[in-house]
Amino acid sequence: MTSTKTFDFVVIGGGIVGTATAYKLSLKFPEKSIALIEKEKELGSHQTGRNSGVIHSGIYYKPGSLKAENCRIGREQLVEFSKEHSIDHRICGKIIVATDKDEIPLLEKIFKNGVVNQTPGIKMIDASEIEKKEPYIKGVKALWVPTAGIIDYVAVVRKFTELVLGTNDHNQLFLSEKVIDLKRTGGKVLIGTDKQTILAKKVIACGGLFSDRLAKLDDVKLDMQIVGFRGDYYEFKEQAKHKVNNLIYPVPDPKYPFLGVHFTPMIGGKIECGPNAVFTFKREGYAKTSFNLKDCLQALSYKGTIRLFAKNWAKGIEEYRRAFSKKLFVKELQRMMPSISAHDVVATRSGVRAQAVGREGQMIDDFKIIRSRGVIHVINAPSPAATACMAIADEILAEMG
């Protein structure tokens, strides 16, 4: 370690939540110095740049939860920010499709959630209306959500950071630096990276897939652990792009926090379908064969992971089979779009979702933010954290007091 620098605030993690927090800090405290530390050479390299790019409406989430409140407020802020700074986005709308009558009660429950969560413009539509909006989709009933959209989240991250650096000459961005130590000294926090030491009055840790390890560095006792779930995507070939107009989602399984394999028109003109959700043997492992011994041992020696697998082994096997079989993946897509074939899609990218799992094997559904002696840890920030990033940042600033 070659130098020591001092800042009023240090944000660890250059993803969407970390950069949104740095941005909100710069708005509230323009005279204060802010450092943003990211272990990769580029911002938004992991969950931020590898998700579906969807602006969520907040319709799914339990009324009164942090997810529900922050998604509603955050969506409004994100859209306004994107308009103000000319960030590429489109409010295209979304349909959530029930493919058989058994799914209608769940669809109606989502609709009621949406009403309580103040999701604008939502309405139930029948099979004929589904066909008008999406001629290639077959369903018995659907929920139309006009406020959902798509966006380039990495562009948002870059703009947040540009604005932070432009607010105060003392603000700095440190790329390719990994935080390896957190200590207290004289009422401040000493942050050790693999290149230097930094002294901060207050620290916000937005570590994503490594949020629990940052908390452990800080001696925070957690009743949960991050477990990675990889999601694989397929991309529509040119000949099939006309089959999708809007965001198209299935009715999600209420036992899991994942929204199911869906169709997404992306910024830039691509159409993607996915993701699935399979346990990954490496927290930042994007290939089907990715493996990291430390990540693997930590996950599989944790009682919560073992209990999760024990309760959901059949679902897990189903997801793994689909991960290694294009035929089975396409079969899942055909539930909503019967005309799609394996010739219409090609395998493309993947992402890894950071999912907090409790000791009893339960997936922690809501956002989780913990304060610890001058450090705020964002422990769990799953979807819709990207949509809600600016509202989550407001929560963090409020937590700081």
pLDDT for the residue 259: 75
Give the E-state strand segments of 91-139 in sequence order. 94-98, 123-126
pLDDT for the residue 132: 97
**Are 198 and 309 part of one and the same domain?**
no
pLDDT above 50: residue 341: yes
pLDDT category at 1 given cuts 50, 70, 90 is very low
**Residue 52's closest CA among 284, 264, 286?**
264
Q: Note the pLDDT tens digit of each residue in 173-184.
A: 999 999 999 999
pLDDT above 80: residue 100: yes
Contact (CB, 8 A) for 1 and 174? no
Chain centroid offset of residue 309 CA: 22
Average pLDDT of span 224-233: 95
**Are 178 and 32 part of one and the same domain?**
yes
Q: Note the pLDDT tens digit of each residue in 102-129.
A: 999 999 999 999 999 999 999 999 999 9
**Domain tally, the chain:** 3
Average pLDDT of span 335-361: 96
Question: What type of residue is 54?
Answer: V
Residue 87 domain flag:
no
**Are 266 and 311 part of one and the same domain?**
yes
Please tell me the distance from the alpha carbon of residue 68 to that of residue 48, in angstroms, as a whole number.
Answer: 20
pLDDT above 80: residue 242: yes
Contact (CB, 8 A) for 192 and 271? no
Q: Residue 216: phi, psi to the nearest 5? A: -65, -40
**Are 257 and 231 part of one and the same domain?**
yes
Report percent pLDDT > 70 for the chain.
Answer: 99
**Are 264 and 354 part of one and the same domain?**
yes
Average pLDDT of span 35-59: 96
Q: Note the pLDDT tens digit of each residue in 295-317.
A: 999 999 999 999 999 998 888 88
**Are 161 and 237 part of one and the same domain?**
no
In angstroms, the first-to-last Cα distance of the chain is 32
pLDDT for the residue 253: 82
Average pLDDT of span 339-364: 95
Average pLDDT of span 152-171: 98
Residue 61 domain flag:
no
Residue 84 domain flag:
no
pLDDT for the residue 316: 85
**Pair of tokens at residue 93:** 């709308």
**Are 110 and 180 part of one and the same domain?**
no
Please tell me the distance from the alpha carbon of residue 203 to that of residue 195, in angstroms, as a whole number.
Answer: 18
In sequence order, the β-bridge partners of residue 142 are 97, 125
**Are 290 and 333 part of one and the same domain?**
yes
pTM for the structure as a whole: 0.95
